[in-house]
């Protein structure tokens, strides 16, 4: 088997296992992530639909143009996020989605994730935030202890095209002495501890079969921000978000409940945040 097949097989196994565990007849509203791994989740949903194992009223919420097409091609019903009511009025939860299944570019021990390799992280985060549960699916290359250990393309940051080069310069200067960091991480030591590099390296993402930058589904640009290893993802997320013109950061902190990985040997691993595991011990 070629290594490409192995990777694809591991994505497929993770996606199938996660869908089987989380998408039963009781699921009324399902968030569908974006990317190549989610394609296998859609494949499994089609099989379950044919076997009458899905809720006949199931609504699917897309996270991108690609994800909406997947839903339509699977013969499922798509709904816009803001058209959905609260799932459980009076419960104290504002969620409108039972569960969302989504891919990831890298996942750490606490299930903090880097997302947005396909530029979809703004809508993905909105959908994840409206979900009772976020379940990640990925191949073994994404399974890390610390973010930045394996994914070396940087944290995707969606920004306003109106000021992208100013935002880029400001992001490049984030570090122990920057103004933006002082409110979030008051001590110079904190920023030094949050990520490995002394200053971020920032690149405007370029399109492949079009001249010029990638333009997101929302009409914005993407800056890929390399920080080395990210030791404090929440602090980095907050730090990046404070820069005016930053629309969303592809760091998903404390959002995922489970992550499913297809391993190289064909097995499947399901992880929960390490701190949750400790509580159960």
Ligand X SMILES: O=C[C@H](O)[C@H](O)[C@H](O)COP(=O)(O)O
Per the DSSP assignment, residues forming a β-bridge with 268 are: 262
Q: Is 232 an interacting residue with respect to ligand X (CB under 6 A)?
A: no
Token couple for 57:
């009223």
Strand order in the sheet with 221-226: 201-204, 221-226, 155-159, 246-249
Q: Which of 10, 13, 37, 96 binds ligand X (CB under 6 A)?
A: 37
Per the DSSP assignment, residues forming a β-bridge with 97 are: 131
Residue 60 or 185: which CB sits closer to ligand X?
Answer: 60
Which x/- pattern, by CB under 6 A, does the window 94-133 give for ligand X? --------xxxx---------xxxxxxx--x---------
Is 259:228 a contact under the CB 8 Å cutoff?
no
d(CA 244, CA 218): 17
- Would you call 77 helix, strand, or coil by DSSP? strand
Report which DSSP code applies to 205.
P
Residue 245 or 250: which CB sits closer to ligand X?
Answer: 250
Is 183:190 a contact under the CB 8 Å cutoff?
no
Q: Is 13 an interacting residue with respect to ligand X (CB under 6 A)?
A: no
Q: Is 36 an interacting residue with respect to ligand X (CB under 6 A)?
A: yes
Q: Is 33 an interacting residue with respect to ligand X (CB under 6 A)?
A: yes
Q: How far is the CB of 22 from ligand X (least distance, A)?
A: 16
Q: How far is the CB of 113 from ligand X (least distance, A)?
A: 8
Q: Is 34 an interacting residue with respect to ligand X (CB under 6 A)?
A: yes
In the complex, which residue's CB is closest to ligand X? 35
Per the DSSP assignment, residues forming a β-bridge with 204 are: 223
Q: Is 35 an interacting residue with respect to ligand X (CB under 6 A)?
A: yes
Q: How far is the CB of 114 from ligand X (least distance, A)?
A: 8
d(CA 227, CA 154): 7
Residue 105 or 232: which CB sits closer to ligand X?
Answer: 105
Q: Which residues bind ligand X (CB under 6 A)?
A: 33-37, 102-105, 115-121, 124
């Amino acid at each position: 088997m070629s290594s490409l097949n192995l990777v694809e097989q591991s994505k497929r196994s993770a996606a199938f296992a996660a869908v089987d565990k989380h998408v039963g007849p009781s699921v009324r509203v399902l968030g569908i992530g974006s990317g190549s791994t989610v394609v296998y989740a859609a494949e499994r949903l089609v099989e379950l639909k044919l076997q009458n194992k899905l809720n006949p009223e199931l609504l699917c919420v897309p996270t991108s143009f690609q994800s909406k097409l997947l839903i339509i091609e699977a013969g499922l019903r798509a709904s816009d996020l803001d058209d959905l009511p609260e799932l459980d009025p009076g419960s104290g939860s504002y969620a409108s989605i039972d569960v969302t299944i989504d891919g990831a570019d890298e996942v750490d021990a606490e299930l903090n994730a880097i997302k947005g390799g396909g530029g979809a992280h703004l809508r993905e985060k909105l959908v994840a935030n409206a979900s009772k549960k976020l379940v990640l699916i990925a191949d073994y290359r994404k399974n890390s202890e610390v973010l930045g250990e394996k994914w070396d393309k940087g944290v995707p940051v969606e920004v306003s095209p109106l000021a992208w080069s100013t935002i880029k310069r400001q992001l490049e200067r984030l570090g122990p002495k920057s103004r933006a960091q002082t409110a979030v991480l008051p001590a110079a030591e904190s920023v030094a501890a949050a990520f490995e590099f002394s200053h971020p390296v920032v690149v405007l993402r370029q399109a492949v079969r079009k001249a010029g930058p990638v333009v997101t589904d929302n009409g914005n640009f993407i800056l890929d921000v390399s920080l080395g290893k990210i030791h404090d993802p929440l602090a980095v997320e907050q730090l990046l978000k404070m820069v005016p013109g930053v629309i969303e950061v592809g760091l998903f902190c404390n959002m995922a409940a489970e992550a499913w990985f297809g391993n190289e040997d064909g097995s499947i691993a399901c992880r929960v945040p390490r701190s949750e595991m400790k509580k159960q011990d």
